[in-house]
Structures are given as structure tokens and as C-alpha cells.
Structure 1
């Protein structure tokens, strides 16, 4: 079957002590938010006990990575660094040994502490708005996700405008990758995320999806953070809790166009969709074969 193969820089990587060949593997990243105001779970896992239960459930459902967040990107009141650390560090510790541990943060101070605690990925949704984030990751074994956005985290950016959204996102990511490399981050540490819906409307995100290969051509493993996003809801006229089928369709479409990590809320459905896609692409053997044999 003919399909798109992104030109990956350092396709074979060791992340959190686990080997990944992103030329033949897609990693499933589960979302666990210790926040009272996250856009999808609305505080469902804010309590520490609920968060640790969610970590165990995600690992049992087949998640490769678990992404732990203490402060959403979306507009809202400030959260002190100490409070963010209080939220995420116990969950980082609870996730050790169950999956690769990622932390969704834009603060270098938080990144340094969670890396010390065992986090193997820093997911910076601000796209190195603070260049010191690159310094926090450089010289460690942690991977760094660089995400496109226009506004700082926790701030409004109404009615975003682009001339060519794909070209502008690619240019931003190219520049931020160069910044990270200049500050000592190694190429094999980098992952890129074009930021679907982050300071983008539905038409922007659909255009980004159609031309995703232009972003994948940058050569770093591409993360698909499309789970339950508003572009799915608006495309399907589907409320927040009725976007699973649309999410699965978007995940598969992004994988076929170059994504190699998928960030998801509904882990079991995503794992099944990803593994089935890998099997059809010839990346993965069936779990067993009995039919007509």
C-alpha cells in the first residue's frame, strides 16, 4: 500500500527508557489533567486520587505515554509555580514504571523539577515562548514538544488571522526548533505539534489537517493533539461528550499524513484505532491469525 512516510530526523529514539522507531510506530499519549478547568474533563481528575486512578487506567488500556497537566493553556486565572508543582509531582511519581511520563507545562522551573522526578517528555504548549525552557531540557535525556500558538498561555486571542495558516505554522515551528538547537537541545530530543485549535478557528485547523504533510516535512516526529477539539465538534455539530468517532477519524487521518504521536482522552478507542492503522500499513503483525487458516 502506498502511503506517506515523513522524512524523520532520528526516527529511532530512546524515551523514558523505552525504544521507539517512529518510522514504524505510533505512540499513544493519554491525557491526565490535575486541573479544575480543563476543557474536556472539567476537573474530573483534579483530585489526586482520581488522577492516580486515571494514570493506572490509561496504562492498563495500552497508553504508551501519559501526559500530566497542572495548568491548562486556555484563558483563566494564574496558577503559581509552587501550586503547579504540587499538582503534577505526585502524579509524575505515581506514573513511574507504568508508561513514559510527560508533563504539559510552559514553565522552565516546573520542567526542571519534573525531569528530576522522572518525567521523560516536556510538552510545551507555548512553543518556547520562554527560551529558558530549552535550557531546562538541554543536557538532559528528556524530549521536548514544541507547539505552535500565537498568544501566551492563559490569555485570550480572539479571531486569529493568518494569510496562509500552514506556511505560518511551519515557519514558526522551524524557527523555534532552530532556537532549541542553538541552546543545546539535541535533534533527537525534539517533537513538533502544529497546535490544532490553539489560536486557530475550525477552518484553520481543517486546512492544517489537509496539508499536514507540509508540517511533517520539517522532519521531527509530529504530535497530533486533536482529541475532542472544537474543530471536530463544529464539523459534526457534536457536543463535547459526543466527539469520539470524529476524534478517531481525525487521529487516523493525521497518522496517514505523518503524525507519530497521538494525544488522547479516550485511551482504549485510540489504542485500537492506532494499532489497526499500524496493522493495515504493515507496521505491526496481527495479534493472532485464525480466520480461514
Structure 2
């Protein structure tokens, strides 16, 4: 992210570790709802090579029910405060609510990761005021409705147009251009073919000129390709997607399996360069 000193050789994106402080997230829901367990997991991911810890208190899995801001803050703020006391590493708040983002940044988070791309009331004003890096993600509909027969004229063009429009609106509202990141939203209101088209043509999202966060870790499209793969059996597919993102030029990948992702990215880079 901006003002983040890289420890990576060229071609290896930063790694954002997923930390869901929720009872119902699709992969690790309930595993880290306890504050001590969440903090320990965050520190473990940093020790395994993560550059950013992305903390979320509301599930965005398909069909997930929303939670109110007070409950979301009750889940995430103590974890952010505790992690900030123990590390200077970057912390991201994964929320679409401006009041949660304000509280999280006040508690020590550095980045706002918004699956709604600042479409909530007051979100653009909050982002401009906070002045932190903000990630704008594409999602068709809401988590409750997004997988109900999603349709596009051309998914790659439509996603690029949406992200460009949201970036323009954010800047018009006072968000600094250098603070904006984009995320094509793999799995958010997309069929298997939509996801594959976006990954195949990820270069077009990169070409929009903003740093890109890419998140496909453990997502359902992997099981749609490898039928029957449980959420605990999707590491291979997750690594393949992360390698594609790095190849296309993504600036950061959002993943659950930090150590193995970093290993795969390092090996890919070494093969490309012909040396370690």
C-alpha cells in the first residue's frame, strides 16, 4: 500500500491475510470469534509472511444476513486494538459501513476494504475525511442476493466500467487518487464463467491504472471446477488463482493460507527470473 515499504522482490504481490471475526463466514466462520484466538491468528499470519491483516466482523458469503454496526464494532474493535498494541504491521478493516470504518481507523487500522465500493450513505465523505487507502470492490447486488442468477453484457467490461466509475465518484467526493485500490470481486455476484473470464482478462483491470487487490482464496468456483472439493481442499485452486493474479500484475492477493501462497509466489518468481 502507499507508504508501505516492500520486502518483496519484483513480481511478488503483497499478501493480505483474511481474519474473519464472525460466526458465519464461508471458510473460517466461528474459528476466530474469540478475541484471543483472533489476535493469535493475526500474529501467526504476520509471522508467516502476511503484509496486511484484513479484519472483518460481518460475513459477505453468498446469502449472508447483515449485522448492525454496533455488533460489527463489538467484534472487530477489540481485535484491532489488541493487534495494534503488538505490531506495527498494516491492519485493514473489511466493512461497508462508514461508522465502522471510522471506529476501526480510530482504533489503529490503516486501510478501508469496502466490498460496496463506498456506496453506503456517507461512505465517500468518511473515506475523504479519513485519508487512508481505500479498496473499492465490484459486487453485483448484496451478499444476500448476489448469486441469484448474475448476468452481464460483458463481465470484464462491465466490471471495469463499474470500478472506473466508483473511483471517479470517490475522487470527485474528495478521496485522493493515490489512496484508491480496486478489486474485481471474484465470487461476488458472478457465475463460474464470469469468475474465469475476469481471471483470464485480469490484465484489463490492472490496465485501469490503480493498484489491484485480488481475492479468490478458497472460493466456490474452485469446487465448481474440481467437483466435490470441500473448503478444506481448495488450497491448490487458491494457489493457481494467486499465481495468475501475480502474473497479471496484481499488487496484493487476499488469502487464507499465507505460508503456502508466499512459497508459490516465490517459486514462480524464481522460475521466471531463472534464479532465486
Aligned match of 1:5: none
Rounded to whole Å, the distance in 1 between the matches of 2:272 and 2:231 is 31
Match of 1:34 among 13, 21, 27: 21
- Does the 8 A contact of 1:160 with 1:200 survive in 2? yes
Aligned match of 2:252: 261
Aligned match of 1:270: 261
- Report the alpha carbon displacement of residue 133 of structure 1 after superposing the two structures with TM: 1.7
Gaps of 5+ in 2: none
Go from structure 1 to structure 2 and tell me whether the alpha carbon gap of 1:232 and 1:178 turns closer, same or farther (over 3 Å shift): same
Match of 1:149 among 139, 163, 178: 139
Q: Which structure is higher in helix share?
A: 2
In the alignment, is residue 81 of structure 1 matched against residue 69 of structure 2?
Answer: yes
**Structure-2-length-normalised TM-score:** 0.92
CA-based RMSD:
2.1
Rounded to whole Å, the distance in 2 between the matches of 1:23 and 1:163 is 36
- Does the 8 A contact of 2:131 with 2:175 survive in 1? no
Aligned match of 1:53: 40
Deviations 1:185-219 (A, max 9, x none): 11110110000110001111001111111111111
- Does the 8 A contact of 1:216 with 1:222 survive in 2? yes
Aligned match of 2:160: 170
Question: Which structure has the higher relative contact order (CA within 8 Å, separation 6+)?
Answer: 1
- Report the alpha carbon displacement of residue 254 of structure 1 after superposing the two structures with TM: 1.3
Rounded to whole Å, the distance in 2 between the matches of 1:78 and 1:13 is 31
Aligned match of 1:95: 83
- Report the alpha carbon displacement of residue 184 of structure 1 after superposing the two structures with TM: 0.8
- Report the alpha carbon displacement of residue 162 of structure 1 after superposing the two structures with TM: 1.0
Rounded to whole Å, the distance in 2 between the matches of 1:102 and 1:128 is 15
Gaps of 5+ in 1: 1-11, 287-293
- Report the alpha carbon displacement of residue 73 of structure 1 after superposing the two structures with TM: 1.5
Aligned match of 1:7: none
The list of structure 1 runs, each at least 4 consecutive aligned residues, that deviate by more than 6 angstroms after superposition, is 20-23
Aligned match of 1:289: none
Deviations 1:51-75 (A, max 9, x none): 1111111111111000000001133
- Report the alpha carbon displacement of residue 48 of structure 1 after superposing the two structures with TM: 1.3
Rounded to whole Å, the distance in 1 between the matches of 2:196 and 2:256 is 20
Deviations 1:113-163 (A, max 9, x none): 111112111110112221522221214341100000111344454010111
Please give the residue correspondences for 1:1-293 in structure 2 after superposition, counting only pairs within 5 Å: 13-15=2-4, 18=5, 25-74=12-61, 75-96=63-84, 97-130=87-120, 132-237=122-227, 238-282=229-273, 286=276
- Does the 8 A contact of 1:129 with 1:152 survive in 2? no
Aligned residues: 272
Rounded to whole Å, the distance in 1 between the matches of 2:52 and 2:60 is 20
Rounded to whole Å, the distance in 2 between the matches of 1:108 and 1:91 is 18
